[in-house]
Amino acid sequence: MLRVSLAHEVTDDLVSAVHRLLPQLSGSARLPSRADVEEIVTSQATTLLIVRDDGMLAEAEGDKPQGRADDAGGPYGPVVGMLTLATFRIPTGVRAWIEDVVVDTAARGRGAGEALTQAALELAGARGAQTVDLTSRPSREAANRLYQKVGFELRETNVYRAVPQSPGGADQANP
């Protein structure tokens, strides 16, 4: 059974899951420190959604549940995916952006990405967002099909990126 929840506290399990999942999304991304994950989880602007597969409790490497418990006190399965939702107010209204969606290779095709995306859309709506945007590389064909399936429409727009300069003149990406 897949279960989406908001990450409310940073545990070793959560940091390990982020470190396991992020390289499956981007080979060039730097793994965040525990403090970085804390900042994401505690920020007013970002929400880290995770999906657990409770059906994998005893599957993972043949282990039996180790007494781990969720907020309801029951055992929980491993984190098999994550998504970050950024929600913010700008002069034209409340907007939301979905970033860093990744589902573990072993769990793909079972609805985890859709469950995460639907939960993010519902949360964004509850927070008053007028629109939710995301980007996805064209090579991620399954992800692109999923986003269209849940109601995202491809926009004709240009996406630009710049590396900000620090006050001392050195860029942020290469201090």
pLDDT digits (tens, 9 = 90+) for 48-74: 999 999 887 645 444 444 434 444 445
Architecture of domain 2-149: 3-Layer(aba) Sandwich (3.40)
Measured at the CA of 51, the angle between CA 49 and CA 54, to 5 degrees, comes to: 150
Instruction: Determine contact, residues 103/81, Cβ cutoff 8 Å.
Output: yes
pLDDT at 72: 42
Report how far residue 116's alpha carbon sits from residue 21's, in angstroms, rounded to the nearest whole number: 14
Report how far residue 134's alpha carbon sits from residue 149's, in angstroms, rounded to the nearest whole number: 14
pTM (2 decimals)?
0.84
Q: pLDDT of 83-141, one tens digit each?
A: 999 999 999 999 999 999 999 999 999 999 999 999 999 999 999 999 999 999 999 99
